[in-house]
Structure 1
Amino acid sequence: MNQAALIAGPIGPIENPTTMLRDLVCSAKLSFLMEAHDGLSAAIVKQAGFKGLWASGFSISSALGYRDANEASWTEVVDVVERMADASGLPILVDGESGFGNFNNARLLAIKLLQHGAAGVCLEDKLFPKRNSFVGDRHPLVDIDEFCGRLRAVRDTTGNDLVLVARIEALIAGYGLGEALRRAEAYAEAGADAILIHSRKSHANEILAFAKQWQKLPIVIVPTKYYRTPVSAYRDAGISTVIWANHAMRAAVAGMRAVCGRIATEESVAGIEPEVATLEEVFDLMGYEELVSAEERYLPKHL
C-alpha cells in the first residue's frame, strides 16, 4: 500500500479516477452515480457498493447551511469534494452549477476540482447565479454561444483529464424538446463528453423522447421527480447513466430530525440507541483501525 495515501484519509487517492468515471459514463451498460455531500456520506456510498459519486450542489449547499442558489462559494465546494475523494476512493462527478460565473470562473473551478480529486464536472446552461431547478419558475438560460465558450474553456484548460458533462435546462425552463436538441448539438461540438438532460415532470416522457432523437453522446439523467419510471425504460432507451441526486442528504435530514425530536421529547437517549449506528460502526467506516495500526508502527512504545 502507498503509505502516502494513508495521510489523506481512510481510503486515500486512487489511480486514474477520470478514466474510471469515463468508463462509467460512456459504458454501453447503464451505470449509476449516487449522491454524497461530505466525507462521511461518500464513505457510506462506497460501502453500499456504488462505483461513482455525484457531488450534488443542492446537497452540499444544504449540508453547509446554504440554499441551492449559488450561495455556497466554489472554494467551499472544492473543499468538500476533496474530503469526499479522500474518504471514498471513488471517482466523483461534481455538480459545477453554471460555472460560478463566465468562462474564466468555469475554467478556474475545473482546474481546482481536478487538483483536489474530482474526476469530472457538470456545467448547466443557466445564468449565474442559478436557482435549484425545482424551485419557482424563473430559470433563465444562458446564450448558447456563451455557454459553449465555457465548455471550450474547461476543455482547453483540462484536456481529457476531466470528464465534461453539459447539462441542458431547456425542458426545465419550458422551451421544449426542439431547443434541448439544438443545445445538445452545440454542446457536443464545443467538446462535451456527455449530455445531462433534466426534467421536473413526474413522468419520463420528455426525457425518453430526447433519448430517442439524440445518440451522438452518452445521456445522463436525474430522475428525482419521475422516480416511478422503471430502470428498464432507461436501459431500453440507451441512456448511459442515472444519478440518484439527493437521497443521501434527504435521508440524513429525515433521520436526524426523527432522532433529535425523540431525544428532546424523551430527555433521554436510551430509547434511540438501538436505532442509530454504533460508535464501532462509525469507527470502522472512517478507518480507525488503520490509525491504531499506524500508532503501533510509528509511535515510541513508552508513549
Structure 2
Amino acid sequence: MNTLQKNQKFRAALGQGKLLTAMAAHNPLCAKLAEEAGFDAIWGSGFELSASHAVPDANILSMGAHLEMMRAIAAVVSVPLIADIDTGFGNAVNVSYIVPQYEAAGASAVVMEDKTFPKDTSLRSDGRQELVRIEEFQGKVQAAAAARTDKNLLVIARTEALIAGQGQDEAIKRALAYEEAGADAILIHSKQKTPDEVLAFINAWRGKVPLVLVPTAYPQLTEADIAALQKVGIVIYGNHAIRAAVGAMRDVFARIRREGGIAEVDKRLPSVKDIIALQGDAHMREVEANFLR
C-alpha cells in the first residue's frame, strides 16, 4: 500500500467512527513491533525521540533529526504514521514549509500543539506552559492544511489549554477555533491523575471533528470506555515504548552486573534469530538470491 492509499484509508477509518489506536515509537524497530502487536497507527513521538537521545523534549533536537526518523519509520511499516511536529518549528511560514516534507517522508497525519516555540514538554513538573494566541495558531493550522498536496493527510490540532491551567472554557474555545481553521481532529490533553477533566471536555464538545486522547496520566480509562464516548477517533499511547525500553534495559543490565554474567539473563531475552528476522534479513537473502547470482 502506497502512502496515498494509506492516507485515504486512514481518513476513511477516522470518518467511520471506529476508535483507532496508535503506539508511540522512537525508531523503526519500535514501529515494527507496534505494528506486529496490532496497533492501527504509529505515533512518531517527539518526546520519545528526545528521550532516546537523552536530551529534554524542548526542541533541542532539530526538525531534520525528527523528520529523518519519521522517514525511516514510514519505510518499514504498512500502518499510518502520525507525526508529532510539536509547535510546527516556528510560525505559519515554517509550518507551510515543513508539512510537505513530512508528507513526502510518509506521514499520514501531523499533530501540532498551540504552545510557543521553542516548546517545553507537557510533562514538566511545575506545570508552566505558554500558549500562543488563538489567531496565531489558527494561522498555523490553515498553513498546514493549505500546504499538503494530498488532502487526505490529516491535520490534527492539539490544545494545551488544560495542561496550562486555563480551564475548560478556554480549551473549548481554542478547539472550536482550530476546527474552524481547518483541523481534521482535535487532540485534547490533560495530566490530571483522573480522567475527569478530559471527560468533562468531551461531554461539552459540540464540534464536528473527532477528538484524540493521550491517556498517559489517567490509565484507568480503557479503550472500551473511550469508544463508548462516541466522540473520540484516536487514542495514542504516547510514551510506553521508551518507558518499556528503559525498564527492560535497566533490569537486564542490573542483573548482568549482579550475577556476574549473562547465563540467566540470556534465557529470558529474544533470540538473536528473532532480531535478525526483524531486521528483514530474509528479504535481503531473497534479493541476493534473485539478483546477485
The answer, yes or no, to whether TM exceeds 0.5 is yes
Selected match of 2:165 from 155, 171, 174: 174
Q: CA deviation at 1:118?
A: 0.7
| Deviations 1:101-133 (CA, angstroms, capped at 9, x unpaired) | 111222222111111111110000000111111
The aligned amino acid for 1:248 is A
Distance in 2 between residues matched to 1:50 and 1:231, nearest whole Å: 12
Aligned to 2:248: 255
SS at match of 1:241: strand
Selected match of 1:203 from 194, 207, 224: 194
SS at match of 2:130: coil
Q: Which consecutive unaligned segments of at least 5 residues does structure 1 have?
A: 1-11
Q: How many residues align?
A: 289
Distance in 1 between residues matched to 2:3 and 2:140, nearest whole Å: 28
Distance in 2 between residues matched to 1:153 and 1:230, nearest whole Å: 35
Selected match of 2:203 from 212, 215, 221: 212
Selected match of 1:145 from 135, 146, 149: 135
Identify if the C-alpha distance between structure 1 residues 66 and 278 changes in structure 2 by more than 3 Å, giving closer, same or farther.
same
The aligned amino acid for 1:107 is S
SS at match of 2:166: coil
Root-mean-square deviation (CA, aligned residues, Å) is 1.5
For the pair 1:233 / 2:254, whether they are aligned, the reply is no
The aligned amino acid for 2:65 is E
The answer as to whether partners of 1:21 and 1:92 remain within 8 angstroms in 2 is no
Identify if the C-alpha distance between structure 1 residues 258 and 70 changes in structure 2 by more than 3 Å, giving closer, same or farther.
same
Aligned to 2:145: 155
The answer as to whether partners of 1:171 and 1:199 remain within 8 angstroms in 2 is yes
Distance in 2 between residues matched to 1:27 and 1:63, nearest whole Å: 35
Identify if the C-alpha distance between structure 1 residues 77 and 296 changes in structure 2 by more than 3 Å, giving closer, same or farther.
same
Q: CA deviation at 1:14?
A: 4.9
State how 1:33-182 maps to structure 2 within 5 Å.
Answer: 33-135=22-124, 136-159=126-149, 160-182=151-173
Aligned to 2:184: 193
TM-score by length of 2: 0.94
SS at match of 1:240: strand
TM-score by length of 1: 0.91
Distance in 1 between residues matched to 2:13 and 2:111, nearest whole Å: 15
| Deviations 1:175-196 (CA, angstroms, capped at 9, x unpaired) | 1110011111110111000000
The aligned amino acid for 1:25 is L
Distance in 1 between residues matched to 2:42 and 2:90, nearest whole Å: 24
| Deviations 1:184-224 (CA, angstroms, capped at 9, x unpaired) | 11101110000000001011112111111214210000000
The aligned amino acid for 1:265 is R
Identify if the C-alpha distance between structure 1 residues 34 and 273 changes in structure 2 by more than 3 Å, giving closer, same or farther.
same
The aligned amino acid for 1:235 is A
